Amino acid sequence: MEQASRNAGGAFAKVVVVVPTYNERENLPLLVDRLTGLGLPGLHVLVVDDGSPDGTGDVADAIAEESGGTVAVLHRTTKDGLGRAYVAGMTRALADGADVVIQMDADLSHPAETLPLMVRTLREDDGVALVIGSRYVAGGALATEWAWHRKALSAWANFYVNAVLRLGVKDATAGFKAWRGSALEAVDLPSVRSNGYSFQVEMNHRAIRRGLRIVEVPITFEERVHGASKLSLRVQAESAITPWKLRFGRRRAGS
């Protein structure tokens, strides 16, 4: 099955980068330029816009029209969180035949130049289900612009998640990921309930519970270029509660 999803040169036939957006009209064109400039075979970009009032959706439509089919846009009328946007985008990507699905922020904090390594890691080892762009493995780093308390909060969040769930993933809260399509199907996307940044934790938890192999590769996480962070107090509270729900909550189908 996996072999059938690759072309004669060994590359995956279709790699879809899912990019949720909300008020990212300045960053989105820069990100798409970086991605399309990689020269990665089979690369497509799916923008999932949650009705951005700054016109990000219109910018995405214009980019898609000029892309010749490389860029597509999924418009959602309700802003109900990062997790829901990713579920919608990933579901669409799988329905469109994606062999690999990439999770990537629109704010330019994730280094596009690492994406070929992530895809190559999946291609060269059929046993790898998920590749995480990690700030906390050897060679990884946080933005130098970050104040010490932001770095401490990020490190504490990863320690906390691993202490509760024992995931064994060094960057358990990372949002830059490359999923094998079959792995996404195995974790049962429709039943995912976490929203906000806790979505990342639940997806890792599901992968590990199914015995899927995760590999981490180092990245340098940069400060966003334009716009404001979406890390609200509500999102932080959900992120603190979710690991306990996953550990002790009732096991739904797919959880």
Q: State residue 17 phi and psi, 5-degree precision.
A: -95, 115
Predicted local confidence at residue 250, as pLDDT: 46
Domains of the chain: 3-248 (3.90.550.10)
Residue 42, amino acid: G
Dihedral angle, C-alpha 37, 70, 217, 186, nearest 10 °: -170
Angle at Cα 33 formed by Cα 29 and Cα 36, nearest 5°? Answer: 135
**Other C-beta atoms within 10 Å of 72: how many?**
20
Residues 76 and 80: their CA atoms lie apart, in Å, by 9
Q: pLDDT value at position 235?
A: 53
Please name the amino acid found at residue 183. A
Provide the strand spans (E) within 39-117.
43-49, 71-75, 100-103
How far is it, in rounded angstroms, from Cα 58 to Cα 64? 10
Rounded distance between C-alpha atoms, residue 208 and residue 213, angstroms:
7
Q: Can you say whether the dihedral through the CA atoms of 93, 97, 102, 107 is positive or negative?
A: negative
pLDDT of residue 11: 81
The closest alpha carbon to 241, from 187, 183, 198, belongs to: 198
Q: What is the pLDDT of residue 238?
A: 59
Residue 39 has a pLDDT of: 94
- Per-residue pLDDT of the chain in tens (255 residues, 90 and over written 9): 344 466 545 789 999 999 999 999 999 999 999 999 999 999 999 999 999 999 999 999 999 999 999 999 999 988 888 899 999 999 999 999 999 999 999 999 999 999 999 999 999 999 999 999 999 999 998 876 666 677 777 788 888 888 888 899 999 989 999 999 999 999 999 898 887 778 999 999 999 999 999 999 999 998 655 445 545 555 555 556 766 677 677 444 344
What pTM value is reported for the model?
0.86
> Can you tell me whether residue 148 is helix, strand or coil?
helix
